[in-house]
Amino acid sequence: MADTTQKYAGKKRKPQIYRGMKIRPRGGSWQADFGTKAGKRDQKSFGSLDEAKQAIDSHLIQKVEQSRFEAAITSKYKKPETIATHLESLHGSHDGVMREKHARTALDGAYGEVVVIGYAIDDEPPRAVYRGMDEPEENVLKAFFDAIPVATQQPVHWVGHNILGFDLRFLQMRSWVTGIRSGHPLPLDSRPGTVYDTMTEWAGRYQRNAYPSLDKLCKAFSIPSPKGEVDGSNVYSMVEAGRLEDVVEYCKQDVIAVREVYRRMTWDDR
């Protein structure tokens, strides 16, 4: 009889049954079997046994919720075609909701990852560091952090739109998570001379209801806006669709627009 136990990192790991589902060791990961989907085995890999068990729990909860809705539909309607229509709508909306929830985590520093960083040093043309989805996030963070001390010998003055509310803090979160440290501490507050956030400078730091979009400021100053087919709301879907180059170009145009807005707001007529 074959030994199904795998030896990894000096320890033997055996397949397990958790809530009726199989979890098998595969190299350095664990593979959970969720049954069949569209005629194929639905198997997913996880970094740890606990992650696999949590995924199974979520999967079973979703199945229970879906079964309740299906039962309600079949008890309410009698015609087979009506039942089929409502079930199709249910499954489509469920997938859409789950996809939307997943997309929202892209902006959460605990789960989302950095794919592209657009930036410029002083008056130089905008640059971007980026990666393919099969490349580690650490490469982008390290390339960006390494570029900063090389480009300037003076304390960094950060400029951006909502840079305090999102960009700098998100980079700091990902720095903590990945262990890639910046040679320049990332400022997380608005100390004078350290950060200029065009959004809060325009409306006031605590006037959240009056915070303007970058597109709005561009229009106010008659500056070409980077917001067109691509904007912050659909970056995730575009990267997922393989349109990374379009996102990179959008980030560069965003940098140009922010720099022009900053110059107008600081009376810099270069």
CATH number at residue 215: 3.30.420.10
Residue 205 lies in a domain: yes
pLDDT values of the chain reduced to their tens digit, one per residue, 270 residues: 344 444 444 456 788 888 888 888 887 788 888 877 656 777 888 878 888 888 887 777 777 666 766 776 677 667 777 777 766 665 555 455 445 555 555 678 888 889 999 999 989 999 999 998 888 999 999 999 998 865 555 678 899 999 998 999 999 999 999 999 988 888 887 677 789 999 999 998 777 778 999 999 999 999 999 887 777 667 777 887 888 999 999 999 999 999 999 999 999 876
Residue 53 lies in a domain: yes
- Indicate if 138 and 207 belong to the same structural domain: yes
Residue 94 lies in a domain: no
Residue 68 lies in a domain: no
- Indicate if 145 and 257 belong to the same structural domain: yes
151/121 Cα distance (integer angstroms): 7
Q: Which of 10, 37, 58 is the last residue of a domain?
A: 58
pLDDT score at 207: 78
Residue 99 lies in a domain: no
Residue 136 lies in a domain: yes
* Pair of tokens at residue 21: 């589902």
180/129 Cα distance (integer angstroms): 15
pLDDT score at 158: 93
| 127 to 134, 166, 186, 236: CA distances (angstroms) | 22, 20, 19, 20
Per-residue pLDDT tens digits for 28-63: 788 888 877 656 777 888 878 888 888 887 777 777
Residue 83 lies in a domain: no
pLDDT score at 93: 52
- Indicate if 162 and 253 belong to the same structural domain: yes
pLDDT score at 33: 85
Domain count, the chain: 2
Long-range contacts for 189-196 (Cβ within 8 Å, ≥24 apart)? 189/164, 190/164, 193/155, 193/157, 194/155, 194/156, 194/157, 194/158, 195/157, 195/158, 195/159, 195/163, 195/164, 195/168, 196/157, 196/158, 196/159, 196/160, 196/262, 196/266
- Indicate if 37 and 132 belong to the same structural domain: no
List the domain range (segments joined by +) for residue 18: 1-58
* Pair of tokens at residue 57: 């729990």
- Indicate if 244 and 143 belong to the same structural domain: yes
Residue 71 lies in a domain: no
pLDDT score at 55: 83
Q: Which of 42, 58, 74 is the last residue of a domain?
A: 58
